[in-house]
Structure 1
Amino acid sequence: LLHQLSCESTRRGGKDCEVNTICWNNTGEYILSGSDDNNLVITNPYNKKVLTTIRSGHRANIFSAKFLPHTNDKQIVSCSGDGVIYYTNIEQDPETNRQSQFTCHYGTAYEIMTVPNDPYTFLSCGEDGTVRWFDIRIKTSCMKEDCKDDILINCRRAATSVAICPLLPYYLAVGCSDSSVRIYDRRMLGTRATG
């Protein structure tokens, strides 16, 4: 079925660096990317224009970034190699955004996953073996050391990826460093923060 595949564009903006994460917005108009330069970049892939470059506050390589659903692409969550997660509202000043961080993971935070049709919650997974579920209605930052408030699952080995089932969003799959994929039902799980 596929006869020809070609590269349309390679421009990202900013200095040359490794891009670690890309994400389309829900309408397919924009691409969000995060990279080793610690910046988040929103690009229109059709006219090849960089709409905005956000100095994220991350101090390590950004590994995952997503638009929160139903926020008009104004709110972003991202995570990095030092385990820090940032909640960024691009309509707020950069200093406010730098205060909206979660330092709960110990080691690398590998992936962020948003919940379909939910602009308030997101999940993360990391080297510490935890999958965490954050609700920004409850808090927009957490600076506690060794925080256990938002742990949804503790895999006891590095949790390197997480995915939510699009048809039944209460099911989630977690990829771990022991070459296994575990399936969980979020309805049977809770965190200290969510009960």
Structure 2
Amino acid sequence: MNRVKESLKLALSLAESYLEKKSKRELILLFIFCFLVGFLAVFSATFERAKESLEAKNQTKMNLKHQLLELQRVFEANKTLDNTKDLEDWIHDLEQKISMQERQKNLLQNQSSIYALRQIADSKGLQDFMLEQENQRILLYAKGKYKNFSALLEQLESQQHLEIYHLNLYPNALTQDLEFYLGVDRRQSGEIPNSQGSLE
């Protein structure tokens, strides 16, 4: 410990003797030099910290940009899925509407065919007219004079949407009428008429 103190005293005494030998101009230059060295040391340390902070901020900014791009990709993917789902829902709704319209069309055609048969039968003076429908086929029973029955057949054959596929005739000697059972197919639009049928 005493040796350290003695060494410090010796160093201080040497520095004092060195400074005493220097002129004021040299002392000022020495002071300026020491000041510049200290300033450069402080500036270098501060600059290094600022550089590290700037690099950290740039890295954080790049990370945020990367995360933003990932979020945009996810958003676009979800948006595409939503658009696809909306399109599928729209197609499903359209199919439901088309199916409903087709059912309504078939119902109207059935009603139209039945109404047309009733009107034709009434106009030809037929009696005991009865009608039954099975899908696309209509079964018809009536009785009347031969000329009335013949007029009915001619009228049915002129109908584009109706086709006779079955016919049974029963003469009634007591009333001198014809009793008949008639089967009629209701053709779809654009269907080619079938010339074959059965007459009994």
The structure richer in strand per residue is 1
Tell whether the structures are fold-level matches, with TM greater than 0.5: no
Class of the TM-score when normalised by the shorter of the 2 chains:
under 0.3
